[in-house]
């Protein structure tokens, strides 16, 4: 078990901690390993030929990367591809990292906002609570709603999936009236792309709510596609100066027309942030959760002899495995590769 020197320093883990847990800390150049456990990205050069890797691998965004791993004979498991089922909950790294992102989005936005979030009764007058609007109520959105509520803001949420209404309301937020579509949710719980009519109806319904919000947090994603546009430039321009937008979808095309990945821009006095790696701001807890997700998957994949047991009839193994035996085994990745060739 080898850990690169300094790997945990930003998360508050010392090399000593890894040594005490029985690992070897390696100061040298990266070595090929039979099994690589990583956050990502991982290339074929990191893994021994015929070895295996468990990592975030962005299979839908980088199908060629999966083909390269397969070509090198590597067995690859993508954390993104683990099914969102009750059985696989302990392995669900998309959820654990989205929890960090949703929490951090509120803190990052609040830090930019020239106002308090809670109501305050002071000798210098009563301060009204800030209004926070969260668009997209999946794991990150629901965590953002809960966090903003704990900080005392008045919170509203919206999602295209009707099932999200109850979850938003159970956190003490109001559900913004906008179009919802039963058909938007696929068997995996994910939203799909919406029609042009629905898109227009969404923009019309959201405009007044965005204009009234002090802080807008957008988290809407459609796996394997560009993120839906929910906040146009015109909508940003209608917000009060000093307001803040935090766009968690900036890296996948953006929910806000003004946002740019990994940048903070000020447009018409409105601060628009496009953070791409919020979980690293709570690196300690993000790492704790991620390591438990990886160990849980690894335990699921290994037989009593400690070797990988490749049971492709098992729902979790079949979904998470994207490359095996020299071939890309994920149908969605194969389809993307064919589209691109
Ligand atoms: P995600 O990151 O893919 O997307 C975030 C949210 O954006 C989703 O709620 C989605 O409905 C919403 N969205 C997409 N397009 C939109 C649009 N045009 N307008 C408004 N909202 C839009 O989602 P996620 O957080 O990864 O969750 C995906 C699904 O998995 C959800 O249904 C969630 O409840 C489910 N889930 C299940 C489990 C489990 O059962 N173990 C665990 C985690 C998540």
Give pLDDT tens digits for 159-207. Answer: 999 999 999 999 999 999 888 887 777 877 788 888 888 999 999 999 9
Please state, in angstroms and rounded to a whole number, the distance separating the CA atoms of residues 250 and 260.
6
Q: Which atom of ligand 1 is nearest to the CA of 198?
A: 18
Q: Which atom of ligand 1 is nearest to the CA of 199?
A: 18
Q: Which atom of ligand 1 is nearest to the CA of 89?
A: 41
Residue 39 Cβ inside 6 Å of ligand 1? The answer reads no
Catalytic (active site) residue 84: yes
Catalytic (active site) residue 159: no
Residue 102 Cβ inside 6 Å of ligand 1? The answer reads no
Give pLDDT tens digits for 76-111. Answer: 999 999 999 999 999 999 999 999 999 999 999 999
Strands 125-127 and 131-135 come out as unpaired
Residue 29: pLDDT above 70? Answer: no
How close is the Cα of 191 to the center of ligand 1, in Å? 6
Please state, in angstroms and rounded to a whole number, the distance separating the CA atoms of residues 145 and 106.
8
At 140, is the secondary structure helix, strand, or coil?
helix
Give pLDDT tens digits for 133-170. Answer: 999 999 999 999 999 999 999 999 999 999 999 999 99
Strands 327-328 and 321-324 come out as antiparallel
How close is the Cα of 259 to the center of ligand 1, in Å? 21
236 close to 133: Cβ distance less than 8 angstroms: no
SS3 content of the chain, % helix, strand, coil (to 5): 40, 20, 40
């Amino acid at each position: 078990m080898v850990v690169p020197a300094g790997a945990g320093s930003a998360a508050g883990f010392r090399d000593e901690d890894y040594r005490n847990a029985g690992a070897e800390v390696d100061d040298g150049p990266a070595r090929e390993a039979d099994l690589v456990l990583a956050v990502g990205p991982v290339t074929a050069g990191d893994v021994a030929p015929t070895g295996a890797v468990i990592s975030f691998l962005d299979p839908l965004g980088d199908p060629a990367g999966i083909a390269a791993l397969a070509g090198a004979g590597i067995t690859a498991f993508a954390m993104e591809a683990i099914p969102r089922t009750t059985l696989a909950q302990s392995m669900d790294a998309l959820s654990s990292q989205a929890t960090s992102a949703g929490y951090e989005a509120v803190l990052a936005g609040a830090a930019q906002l020239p106002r308090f979030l809670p109501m305050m009764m002071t000798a210098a007058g009563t301060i009204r609570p800030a209004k926070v609007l969260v668009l997209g109520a999946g794991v990150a959105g629901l965590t953002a709603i809960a966090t903003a509520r704990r900080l005392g803001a008045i919170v509203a949420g919206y999602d295209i999936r009707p099932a999200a209404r109850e979850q938003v309301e159970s956190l003490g937020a109001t559900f913004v009236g906008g179009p919802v579509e039963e058909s938007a949710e696929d068997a995996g719980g994910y939203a799909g792309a919406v029609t042009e009519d629905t898109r227009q109806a969404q923009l019309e319904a959201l405009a007044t709510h965005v204009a009234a919000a002090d802080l807008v947090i957008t988290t809407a994603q459609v796996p394997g596609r560009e993120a839906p546009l929910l906040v146009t430039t015109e909508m940003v321009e209608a917000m009060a100066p000093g307001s803040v937008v935090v766009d968690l979808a900036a890296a996948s095309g953006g929910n806000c027309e003004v946002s740019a990945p990994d940048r903070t821009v000020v447009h018409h006095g409105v601060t628009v942030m496009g953070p791409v790696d919020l979980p690293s701001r709570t690196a300690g807890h993000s790492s704790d959760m991620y390591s438990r997700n990886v160990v849980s998957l690894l335990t699921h994949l290994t037989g009593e002899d400690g070797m990988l047991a490749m049971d492709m009839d098992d729902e979790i193994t079949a979904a998470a495995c994207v490359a095996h035996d020299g071939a890309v085994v994920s149908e969605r990745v194969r389809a993307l590769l064919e589209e691109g060739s």
